[in-house]
Amino acid sequence: MSLLTKPVSAEHISVHNNRPLIQCNCCLRIEQAQQAVTKSAWLQAANHIGWRHVQSEAFDIDVVCPSCVSDFNNPIRKPIKPIERASI
Ligand SMILES: [Zn+2]
């Protein structure tokens, strides 16, 4: 399965109380600006930290947060176990 990632587009940014926000369509996590910034500045920041529009043959998801994007890229990633230490 090939995965295509593109920058998130401005239509997927909404604005509440002058503070733009973006919501992941996978885990539904919302990230909102802490202060009033322009929609385009927020969009640029979101794309900068890894928010993406993800497409494949099977699906097309408009807004995906950085952690979900990495899950898509590593579908068989195993959980990381803390190092077990024998107490002596
Ligand atoms: Zn997510």
**Any domain includes 84:** no
- Answer yes or no: is 88 within a domain: no
- Please report the DSSP string for 33-87 in residue order: -SS---HHHHHHHHHHHT-EEEE-SS-EEEEE-HHHHHHHH-TTPPPPPPPP---
Q: Is 56 part of any domain?
A: yes
Would you say residue 30 lies in a domain?
yes
**What is the per-residue pLDDT across 41-63, written as a single tens digit (0 to 9) for each?**
999 999 999 999 999 988 999 99
pTM for this one? 0.80
> How remote is the CA of residue 76 from the centroid of ligand 1, in Å?
17
Structural domain total, the chain = 1
Q: What is the pLDDT of residue 3?
A: 87
For residue 24, give every residue at least 6 positions away whose Cβ sits within 8 Å of its Cβ, in sequence order, or none.
30, 51, 63, 64, 65, 68
Expressed in angstroms and rounded, the spacing between residue 32 Cα and the centre of ligand 1 is 14
Inside any domain, residue 21: yes
3-state secondary structure of 19: strand
Residue 78 forms part of a structural domain: no
Q: Does 79 score more than 80 pLDDT?
A: no
How many angstroms does the Cα of residue 85 sit away from the middle of ligand 1?
A: 33
**For 5-33, how does the pLDDT look when each residue is reduced to its tens digit (9 = 90+)?**
999 999 999 999 999 999 999 999 999 99
Print the domain residue range for 45: 4-73
- Residue 22 alpha carbon to ligand 1 centre in Å: 11
Distance of CA 9 from the midpoint of ligand 1 (Å): 16
